[in-house]
Amino acid sequence: MQRVLELKAELAQFERQTMRSVTPEQKQKILQLGRDFPRLWKAPTTPARDRKRIIRLLIRDITVVKDPQKPKLLHLQIHWQGGATETIRARQRPNYPEAIRYPTSFVAKIRALTEQYDDQQIAAQLSSEGLTSSTGKSFTASMIRWIRYKHRISRQSTPDDGTFNVSQVRARYGVSLWVVHYWIERGIVAATQRKSNAPYTIRIDDAADRRLRNWVANSRHLHPASPTQAV
């Protein structure tokens, strides 16, 4: 019985210590700490280990759920120490290839400009609009050539007499020099020379144009010309 009485006394003392009411002064200090929290969190003098301790004091656990429709979108279910639950959305940082990929609207812009201007003029036009590359650099003619090569944007302009040289055919269909000569040797395109070793004059009508475009689009063996070789 004596031990029971001692335990009851210890329990009463414990409850008095832990369940005591907060004084107005203590409440004010707690509120002040809450207002100072952002400054404390961002302070350069607050080490990472203290930030981790603060998080453990505030948050019990976080459940991360991926969005089935949008893999890069995450749903963070936060369970606070006080019992409250909150869900926020966060987007994963894109990897490097995704970060430097040009949006579809920009590629369409390049495609439209290619119908009127050469690569140097396109670069100048984009710079005049204050636009920069996906890596933050000013556009150059070689960058525009690379974008056209990457997205198979060929020049659509046709010479007045309806003929092309080898370089123009390469640019038009985005293929290598070897492929153009293969077409010539096999009679796939009509080509003539004024004399031996002279440049080829290639004539491509609408039917041949459609046939060549389908060939390039569907072939598993054709590889577009390197942008460093394109003329």
- Give the predicted TM-score (pTM) of the model: 0.36
Read off the pLDDT of residues 70-120 as tens digits, 9 standing for 90 and up: 777 888 899 988 788 999 988 887 776 666 788 889 999 998 888 777 788
CB 174 within 8 A of CB 225: yes
Q: pLDDT, tens digit, for every residue of 151-180?
A: 888 765 555 556 888 888 888 888 888 889
Contact 174, 222 (CB under 8 A): no
Name the more confident of 36 and 203. 203
Residues in the chain: 231
Confidence check: pLDDT of 200 > 60: yes
- Please state, as a whole number, how many other Cβ atoms lie within 10 Å of the Cβ of residue 77: 13
Confidence grade of residue 139 (pLDDT, cut at 50, 70, 90): very high
| Beta-ladder partners of 76 | 64, 88
pLDDT at 228: 36
